[in-house]
Amino acid sequence: MPVALLVGMEPNVRPPKGHPGRRLERSAWAVALLIALGAAVAFIWWSSGAERRALEGMDPVQRRAVYEEAFGEFERLCGAGPRYDALEKRCVEESHYLIQFPECDARCQGIARSHTPLPTK
């Protein structure tokens, strides 16, 4: 665009309400916002399974050793059933971690789920 056309034009002049240019501007912002929100939701969804994908990607023998160590420590520290003391939060977090192991059998699932808080109304 030649500079001569820009002389005398006021910067930041917005088209009047209802003008097609203004609707286009709003539409562009709406599309950009939807894309950003979609990307944020996709990232959160993808990252929520990162720990599980890492466990599944491990060598099965190594993963079994990590599981047995984690489950043994969980049993010693937390035991069966929920705790209502200073270890409650840690036991809940560890139970979520254990359940992600493919090796977590019915016994493991039962003990781990006994530490999962029940939903409240």
Task: Give the pLDDT confidence of 51-60 residue by residue, as tens digits.
Answer: 777 788 889 9
Q: Furthest-apart CA pair in the chain: how many Å?
A: 81
Every domain of the chain and the residues it spans: 58-113
Residue by residue, DSSP assigns 8-49 as TPPTTPPPPTT-HHHHHHHHHHHHHHHHHHHHHHHHHHHHHT
Q: What is the residue whose two structure tokens read 């944020």?
A: 40
In the numeric block, which tokens belong to residue 99?
């359940």
Per-residue buried b or exposed e for 27-36, using 16+ beta carbons within 10 Å of the residue's own CB = eeeeeeeeee
Q: Has this prediction a pTM greater than 0.75?
A: no
Using the Cα atoms of residue 23, residue 29, residue 32 and residue 38 in order, give the sign of their dihedral.
Answer: negative
Q: What is the pLDDT of residues 4-60, one digit of tens each?
A: 455 555 566 666 666 666 677 777 777 777 777 766 666 566 655 677 777 888 899
